[in-house]
Amino acid sequence: MTLRTRLAALSALILIIAVVAVGTVLSQSARKALIDPIDRRLIRIGEDFVSIDRRIPPFAPRAGEAGPGGADTRPEGRDTAVLRFVDGTLDGSSASGFDSDPDPLPVVPAAQLADLELGTWRLVDLSSADGEVNFRAVEIAVGPDSDTQISASGPRVVGIDSSAQVTAGGQRVVYLFAQPLTSVEASVDRLRFVALIAGLVAVAVGGVLTWMMVRHSFKPVDETIAIAAQIGSGDLSLRVPEPAHPAELHSLGRSINTMLSGIERSQQAETAARTALTQFVADASHELRTPIAAISGHAELIASGALDPEGAGRSVERIAAESLRMQRLVDDLLVLASHDTGHRQEFRVVNLSDIVTDAVEDGRAIDAGRTYRSNIEPEIRVLGDEARLQQVIANLLANVRCHTPSATTASIVVRHDGECALVVVADDGPGIPDAQRPHLFERFYRSTSSSPQRAGGAGLGLAIVSAIVDEHHGTVEVHSAEGETRFEVRLPIATTEIGV
């Protein structure tokens, strides 16, 4: 059973319970409202009768009614049955209804007659012997000094003599005045029937309206289920609806969409990483193929004996050079792999000023024809790996040598910049084209402006710079225009000697 069906059924059940409860209260209230006038009439008859009997203190006469000895006190009409019991035995009776078709008399239990004290009265509910007719009655217990006849129209006092004992032996007399409840029960039954029909209509209409409302409210859920099925087939770009009302469905839709966005980003990142890894392996294989082929070729020449001693020496030198090139490439790949796996080096406080000073001196020794200008503040310390930071500065200076003419001036600045140490490596060369600038820190990217002597580079230098700076929680930026290129590296100033 679906949730919407359960909700509709529960609503219908609640309506049924409410209708039954309202119908019960309504019928009971109506019955009481119809019986109350009967009770008042029966009590009035009892008051009139008791006021005549001198053995029972009279009730106060009502306005417009005669007291003892006044007007006729017989019950009005034939809608009242009268019974007289003497010492618990029925002594006389007058049935209600028509003479040709009288109503059955009510049955009074003997114990009920016996426990009524003399001089008292009470209202009771009685039934006929066959149980088909119910009565509302008043019982009155009197003493033995009044004489009453039972007539067709009800009790009539024919005489009172306080000095005589008409009923010898001091018998106990109980009078019972009863009115059938046939008309009351018929009215209540009609009311119940009308309430039943109205209740059934209310339940039917309420059930249909509830079903329609639940169906409308669950429309976003149906849409969510349909979209979820499409998402399950692989389309993570879809989003479920976020209805404004009710708030629960809005929160559910928003949570699902947030989850889908996270999954989509993760999938995109995984796809990008897989693509990058595939490209990385392909580029690395390509870069390694060249030195391996060169080493293999020279080794075959030497092994064939086709080279003279001088040629064999040159081949050995080439083998050594290509081996060194391959070693550098492998070292660079290991640096990048270490960064990708999240491996963290043991950092300590190092003197960045000394590292940059040494790198500038090495640059002057390697490229003696180039002008190097430096402005290095002393004793600037950062937390990091000294060898990796040396590689950053060396790669930036090598980038100047590889991509600018030898007459280009290299400028190096090291200074404080707020809570960071700023390293600037700049040159006054031709600049970097705008189209190339976004790709400078990509792996195996080669600029078309490389000098001929370094055209065989692997294109990993700046990628390694970016990876090492990122490991040190720093940033690297490039700014270039005609006549100037500037790389800016910012590293956090060391505040402790403790490694991370």
* Residue 330, helix vs strand vs coil: helix
Q: Above 50 in pLDDT, residue 157? A: no
Once rounded to an integer, what is the mean pLDDT over residues 101-111? 88
Within 8 A by CB and 6+ apart from 96, the residues are 78, 79, 80, 81, 102, 103, 178, 179, 180
Residue 95 — pLDDT band, cuts 50, 70, 90? confident
Question: Please, what is the average pLDDT of the chain?
Answer: 79
212 close to 9: Cβ distance less than 8 angstroms = no
Residue 211 — pLDDT band, cuts 50, 70, 90? confident
pLDDT of residue 427: 92
Top pLDDT among 340 and 457 is at: 340
* Domain spans in the chain, listed from the N-terminal domain onward: 22-188, 247-338, 345-492
Other C-beta atoms closer than 10 Å to the C-beta of 186 total 10
Once rounded to an integer, what is the mean pLDDT over residues 452-479? 79
* Residue 137, helix vs strand vs coil: strand
Q: Above 90 in pLDDT, residue 115? A: no
Q: Above 70 in pLDDT, residue 417? A: yes
Could you name the CATH architecture of 345-492? 2-Layer Sandwich (3.30)
pTM of the model: 0.46
Q: Above 70 in pLDDT, residue 63? A: no
- Report which of 137, 141, 138, 88 is spatially closest to residue 119, judged by C-alpha positions: 141
CA dist., res. 205 & res. 212, Å (int): 11
For the chain, give the percent of residues with pLDDT over 90.
20
For the chain, give the percent of residues with pLDDT over 70.
82
DSSP states of 159-201 as a string? EE-TT--SSTTT--EEEEEEEE-HHHHHHHHHHHHHHHHHHHH
Q: Above 80 in pLDDT, residue 316? A: yes
Once rounded to an integer, what is the mean pLDDT over residues 440-449? 71
pLDDT of residue 486: 93
Q: Above 60 in pLDDT, residue 61? A: no
Question: Which tokens is 425 given?
Answer: 């490596």
80 close to 137: Cβ distance less than 8 angstroms = no
* Residue 95, helix vs strand vs coil: coil
Looking at CATH, the fold of the domain delimited by 247-338 is given as Helix Hairpins (1.10.287)
CA dist., res. 82 & res. 21, Å (int): 37
- The top-scoring range by mean pLDDT among 304-313, 421-430, 451-460 is 421-430
Q: Above 50 in pLDDT, residue 93? A: yes
pLDDT of residue 475: 94
Top pLDDT among 117 and 375 is at: 375
Once rounded to an integer, what is the mean pLDDT over residues 118-122? 82
| Residues making up the chain, counted from first to last | 500
Once rounded to an integer, what is the mean pLDDT over residues 23-49? 87
Q: Above 80 in pLDDT, residue 289? A: no
Residue 458 — pLDDT band, cuts 50, 70, 90? low
